[in-house]
Amino acid sequence: MRGYDASRHMLAIGLAAQAGFIDALGFLKLGGLFVSFMSGNSTRLGVGLAKGAAVAGMAAGLVGAFVGGVLAGALVARRAGRWRKQAVLGLATALLFCAALLALPDRPGSGLTLLMAAAMGAVNNVFQRDGEVSIGVTYMTGALVKLGQQLAVALTGGPRWNWLPYLLLWLGLVAGAVAGGGLFALIGLHALWVALAFSGLLLLWSGRLGPLDLA
């Protein structure tokens, strides 16, 4: 997260919190599968294939939806140019809106969680440098690695606080998951409307940041 200012750090932490919230909803709905953590789904896919379990098909569908969301987000980002953050967040918000609509019936189908996974794939295009993801906002392994590395730097005489943004990013995801798990227990997948409102706030925040400076 080095090289970004405080406003962009806040956007990244907000996106991580959103990912934790939505992943908690998906995890509880699907009974152990994820809508943003594709490493876990890939492991479940492999184990399911080995055991001949039906969970393999659902895990594969979620991985495919996530990759499809990344692809759609990347294409939108290319078209939007300097406004790619806002365009990608607009796409993710639209996908979450469709998912929330599917949550209105008493027995929503699997398409709802596929839309959630696609939205989580799309938001990974918000932070890019040279066409590569610069901040992963839906998975925390890289952030935790950087946290440990920067703590080592601080303990050996380097910059004292470079580890803090990575800790806050991880804490954002955990806090979002706590909120998502708590709301799911109260209102089920109708909590997607809360996620949608939060996504709208993140979109407004990104608008406050203005266009990218590509000069």
For residue range 101-158, what is the model confidence (pLDDT) as tens digits?
998 876 666 689 999 999 999 999 999 877 777 888 888 888 999 999 999 999 999 9
- Please tell me the predicted confidence (pLDDT) of residue 110: 67
Written in H, E and C, the secondary structure of the chain is: CCCCCHHHHHHHHHHHHHHHHHHHHHHHHHCCCCCCCHHHHHHHHHHHHHHCCCHHHHHHHHHHHHHHHHHHHHHHHHHHHHHHHHHHHHHHHHHHHHHHHHCCCCCCCCHHHHHHHHHHHHHHHCCEECCEECCCCCCCHHHHHHHHHHHHHHHCCCCCCCCHHHHHHHHHHHHHHHHHHHHHHHHHHHHHHHHHHHHHHHHHHHHHHCCCCCC
Residue 166 clears pLDDT 50, i.e. is over it: yes
Residue with tokens 């495919």: 64
Quick one: which H or E segment has residue 32?
Answer: none
Return d(Cα 117, Cα 62) in angstroms, integer: 6
% of the chain beyond a pLDDT of 70: 95
- Please tell me the predicted confidence (pLDDT) of residue 215: 38
Residue 181 clears pLDDT 60, i.e. is over it: yes
- Please tell me the predicted confidence (pLDDT) of residue 213: 66
- Please tell me the predicted confidence (pLDDT) of residue 63: 96
Return d(Cα 83, Cα 132) in angstroms, integer: 17
Residue 209 clears pLDDT 50, i.e. is over it: yes
